[in-house]
Structure 1
Amino acid sequence: MEKTNKKVLIISIVGTIIALLGIITGSLWITVIYDWAITKILTLSPSSISNDMWKETPIPMYFKFYMFNWTNPHEFNASSNVTPHFVEMGPYVFREIDYKVNQVWNDNGTITFQRKKVWFFEESLSNGSLTDKITNLNPIVATVGFSVKHKSILIRKMINSLMMRLGEKLTLTKSVNELLFEGYNDTLLEIAKKMKTTNMPFSKFGWFYGRNGSESYDGTFNMLTGSTNLYNKGLNKQWNFKNRTDYYESSCGIIDGSNGDLWPPLPNNNTVSLFIPDICTVLKLSYANTTTFQSVTGNKYIGDDKMLDNGEKVPSRQCYCPNGDCGPSGTLNISSCKYGAPAFVSMPHFYLADPSYKNAISGLLPNPEKHQISIVIEPTTGIPIQVQAKLQLNLLIEPIQHMSMFENINKTYIPMLWFIQEADLTASYANQVKILLILPTLGTVTCFGIAGIGVLIFFIGIFVYIRQKLRSEDNQVLLSKYDGDIRNRNDI
């Protein structure tokens, strides 16, 4: 009987301990334990899960280029009444792998690194070949003209004479590969560099020449890891060792925003900032709605009419206008970022831009489904679910006196190309995200389930104790009756 009581006591104590542990752990799970666990998982560190996914592109990512072929350049050059017409060609699809290299982990909660992007042409996914010929504005001629338009008449005449002797034309025809990655030699470029008309550092011209496989092209980033504040994770603190650029004035030159592949939790953000080294600044995307992909729900942010505003709707954006001179809303002047070239970025097909851009040319058909910039981010973890980064590169040409190629033309923004950087969360990674999202419920249910088991064990102990007690009392009654019977027989 004594041994049984001890067993019952042990069972009850064990049940009580399990129940208390379950209740305490369940109560602390959401408020303390889950926050600690999710912080450990999401914070970037040399040994973290998030670092394994970030240091090399974990999901398929594609770069799709669309080139604009100018079909009537001779007519445009001969008469100011002719509207330039363009035919879109492509897409020319490249698979992209993004490596984070030369990593240095700093004591102040940041990491310094460079990005090495490698592209592989995917002909089976493309509508065309890299040998396709594209006719469009001559970027070197346009840049030289833009750089000397305010110079003296003598200098403009000298440059014009030089370009005529070299046989330069307002337009040129090159293959897609030459225009994108391979590049091409140009005598005018060599002369312009010697004359310091341009500070372009490359021996050839190509929109992405020298970039494929380069570790230094995009610059050096200093980014917050989230170790001091998870809600700052992935945000740039410096670029090329400065917290602002000299390409734009005032607040427009501040380095901020995410590189697009790593975000902090964004539970209630109305906007997100995306830093793009190609344009040396940040673009702000606005919250649109929630959407679901791979059964994961995220917040969708899009480029709206304020993203490339000229200062009318967003006064703070006036600092993007050189000398306070803003053009029509819908393009961003990036000439200072692009070696003095008359380069302007817009959304593809001048989507949401001032109508004057599209009215000056023909062949472009803006469509929100095709040309809207968007990114979908899971708000609890900050993991991007879908990325559709889209921009169009345009070059400005305008009349320049004493330069024959520019005298009979209207001021026009010529579309050169546009691209999509596209990435979708795969099913396997989506399942991992789902596990992170159900951890609060799963942990709470599990902990209180364990507590319930502890309570059950405790009551089992009580039940065993009561049953043993009842059996003991029954035995006592039986023994008493037995003793009475014996005494009665003896009396006889």
Structure 2
Amino acid sequence: MYLEMYLFNWTNADEFNSHATTKPNFVELGPYVFKEVDYKVNEVWHDNGTVTFQQKRVWHFEESMSKGSLSDKVTNLNAIATTIAYTIRHRSRFIRETVNTLIRTAGETIITTKTAGELLFDGYKDPVLEAGSVANYSGIPFDKFAWFYGRNNSETYDGIFNMFTGATDIHKIGSIEKWKYSNRTKFAGYCGIVNGTNGDLWPPLPDNKTVSIFSSDLCTSLSLTMQNTTVHQGLVGTKYVSDKNMLDNGTNVPSRKCFCNEVECQPSGVLNISSCKFGAPAFISLPHFYLADESYRNSITGMNPNKEKHEFSMTFEPTTGIPIQIRATVQISLLVQPDDAMSLFRNVPKTYVPMMWFAQRADLPSSYASGIIFLLILPTLGCVIFYGIAGIGVLLFFIGSVLFVRRRRGHNEEQKLIAKKVKTDVSPIVDEF
């Protein structure tokens, strides 16, 4: 399995203000490809048909598969300053002005330039982040910032899962019962229910119209809709894809309005996951705002949504529920908005700034596919063997019966001949007397 990461480079960031005549322009950099290996650790099996575990993910950079290097310079929104401003947006003007002074004194600006490696896994130190941790207003519980900082090789980052094993009900296999000892997340109502599988194990999917996967990264579940059947590695699979409702927040599906969670609802296609990301103004969408409301793309330039490249899809062998092809795509954007108490943000237009997107890609190896094909034909093969053996048995019985009858008939004929011969031989002797 591979994780492809793309970063957005802001080419005209120095022109970003409410009086600008040009829109923010972004150029996609990457992919920066990492090989991913996942482990389930600290497993505890329970009598109720569930298992509790943690998961450890290990990523290794694959330079030969990447376009660019981890030393590439990337310019974009200052995530730390933006997060702090968003976190304290409802605090008093005095507090916001004080924090603004602290940020300016530290030499921070609204834009920052870092290497791809620093932004992805390595992280970078920031005086405002350190001061914010001490003052407890940054909301970020780390000494460095990176999109995947502290995650590589960690057993604890993703939390503790409780999952059905399928021992008591095969149709529940892989379904998450609880995450972090709860069956709810911080989202309100229906939106906060923990449901779906962990993405590794799935129940049989003979006629499911939708499938759901729970993502600890997003603190919610994503639902994909059946599209069609396809053939991969000789296996006929059912393909499920993202649609315009997957990241809706009530515009298209009223029951999903709970994703707004007492904040201003944004147009469809982008979900607010700030409650899952330490209060940061983090919003997820499909890459390049694919399937999202046009307003997101209209406020900036450089977005080129493409169904083939940016669609979220999973293909399963329906009888077994085994994934045979995965294309999981998600984009992270940060919301920046004006605040007249903070000089850094006083004259900025409200903008959803694309920061990065990633694609998790996996294909079932041909050796595994051959095994599944054999598994699928095994019942048919068993029937063929059963009826074949039964047919051979009937044939042998028939042949045996014919041979028995013929042998019996031959024996009777032989007895008649012997009897006739004896009678013939005895007759002359009788005549002599």
TM-score by length of 1: 0.86
- Equivalent residue for 2:229? 290
- Equivalent residue for 1:369? 308
- Equivalent residue for 1:341? 280
Q: How many residues align?
A: 431
Question: What is the CA deviation profile of residues 412-467 of structure 1, one whole-angstrom value per residue up to 9, with x for unaligned ones?
Answer: 00000000000001110001110111122111111111111221222232123212
Matches within 5 A, 1:289-328: 289-323=228-262, 325-328=264-267
CA distance in structure 2 between the aligned counterparts of 1:237 and 1:487, rounded to whole angstroms: 98
TM-aligned CA distance change 1:430 to 1:464, over 3 Å: same
Q: For 2:136, give the aligned amino acid.
A: K
- Equivalent residue for 2:91? 151
| C-alpha deviation, 1:260, in angstroms | 1.1
CA contact (8 A) 2:87 2:139 kept: no
CA contact (8 A) 2:251 2:267 kept: no
CA contact (8 A) 1:280 1:337 kept: yes
Name structure 1 gaps, 5 residues minimum.
Answer: 1-60
- Equivalent residue for 2:117? 177
Matches within 5 A, 1:375-394: 375-394=314-333
Q: For 1:447, give the aligned amino acid.
A: F
Larger relative contact order (Cα-Cα within 8 Å, sequence gap ≥ 6): 1
RMSD (CA atoms):
1.2
| C-alpha deviation, 1:485, in angstroms | 2.1
TM-aligned CA distance change 1:242 to 1:361, over 3 Å: same
CA distance in structure 2 between the aligned counterparts of 1:105 and 1:332, rounded to whole angstroms: 35
| SS of match in other structure, 2:276 | coil
- Equivalent residue for 1:463? 402
| C-alpha deviation, 1:324, in angstroms | 5.5
Question: What is the CA deviation profile of residues 390-419 of structure 1, one whole-angstrom value per residue up to 9, with x for unaligned ones?
Answer: 000000001111211111111100000000
CA contact (8 A) 1:80 1:410 kept: no
| C-alpha deviation, 1:251, in angstroms | 1.3
Which of 197, 201, 219 is residue 141 of structure 2 equivalent to? 201
CA contact (8 A) 1:80 1:408 kept: no
CA distance in structure 2 between the aligned counterparts of 1:477 and 1:310, rounded to whole angstroms: 99
Matches within 5 A, 1:224-263: 224-245=164-185, 247-263=186-202
Structure 1 position 438 matched with structure 2 position 377 = yes
Q: Post-superposition, which runs of at least 4 consecutive aligned residues in structure 1 deviate over 6 A?
A: none
Of 474-483 and 387-396, more deviation after overlay is shown by 474-483
CA distance in structure 2 between the aligned counterparts of 1:98 and 1:162, rounded to whole angstroms: 41
CA distance in structure 2 between the aligned counterparts of 1:370 and 1:90, rounded to whole angstroms: 14
| C-alpha deviation, 1:239, in angstroms | 0.2
Of 251-260 and 390-399, more deviation after overlay is shown by 251-260
CA distance in structure 2 between the aligned counterparts of 1:143 and 1:76, rounded to whole angstroms: 18
- Equivalent residue for 1:87? 27
* Richer in helix (by share): 1
| SS of match in other structure, 1:209 | coil
| SS of match in other structure, 1:336 | helix
Q: For 1:391, give the aligned amino acid.
A: V
Matches within 5 A, 1:402-417: 402-417=341-356
Matches within 5 A, 1:131-142: 131-142=71-82
CA contact (8 A) 2:269 2:289 kept: yes
Of 384-393 and 146-155, more deviation after overlay is shown by 146-155
Q: For 2:298, give the aligned amino acid.
A: N
Question: What is the CA deviation profile of residues 375-401 of structure 1, one whole-angstrom value per residue up to 9, with x for unaligned ones?
Answer: 001110000010000000000001111
Name structure 2 gaps, 5 residues minimum.
Answer: none
TM-score by length of 2: 0.98
